Amino acid sequence: GEVIGINSAKVAATGVEGMGFAIPINTVQTIVNELIEKGYVARPYLGVSVFDPTTAERYGYQLNIDKGVYIFRLALDGPCGKAGFQRGDIILEINGEEINSVADLRNKIASYQVGDKVTITYDRNDTKHKADVVLEEMPQEDK
């Protein structure tokens, strides 16, 4: 036989029939190939740490922005650092799609591959700018 899916979750509780969920093999195939070739999955990243108003509040900060995510730290040798971004810039869009939360940013970047180029619209001192950023591989901590 051939593998057509991989189990990803199973629900089993007293009084209910077990229910399993699977991911189609085509969805997993690139990850499997990467694990075989590299031993890990290369994830794209921007090299920034960001806050939206909700996450800022969790850490005791007040962030007064209406849109976007605030860059509070960046790696100067990371993709955004190389593209000229600075601490305090506010990322508004990636490839024309609005980014208004940390989750929006993570999900959007995760939809691309290492080496892809994205256009980021950002605010610096109340002026909108655009920059092309080439996504790099997220550094591996235990290589």
- Three-state DSSP string of 16-81: CCCEEEEEEHHHHHHHHHHHHHHCCCCCEECCEEEECHHHHHHCCCCCCCCCCEEEEEECCCCHHH
pLDDT at 33: 83
Closest CA to 99 of 46, 43, 41, 42: 46
- Taking CA atoms, 109 is separated from 14, 45, 71, 81, 102, in Å, by 40, 7, 15, 16, 11
Digits of tens for pLDDT over the chain (143 positions)?
Answer: 787 777 777 777 777 677 778 888 887 887 788 788 888 778 899 999 999 999 999 988 889 999 999 999 999 999 999 999 999 999 999 999 999 999 999 999 999 999 999 999 999 999 999 999 999 998 877 54
Q: In whole angstroms, what is the distance from residue 58 CA to residue 62 CA?
A: 9
**Number of neighbouring beta carbons within 10 Å of residue 138:** 16
Rounded to 5°, angle at Cα 107 from 105 and 111? 115
Contact 48, 68 (CB under 8 A): no
pLDDT for position 76: 93
Instruction: Write down all domains in the chain, each with its CATH number in brackets.
Output: 5-38 (no CATH), 44-137 (2.30.42.10)
* The model's pTM: 0.76
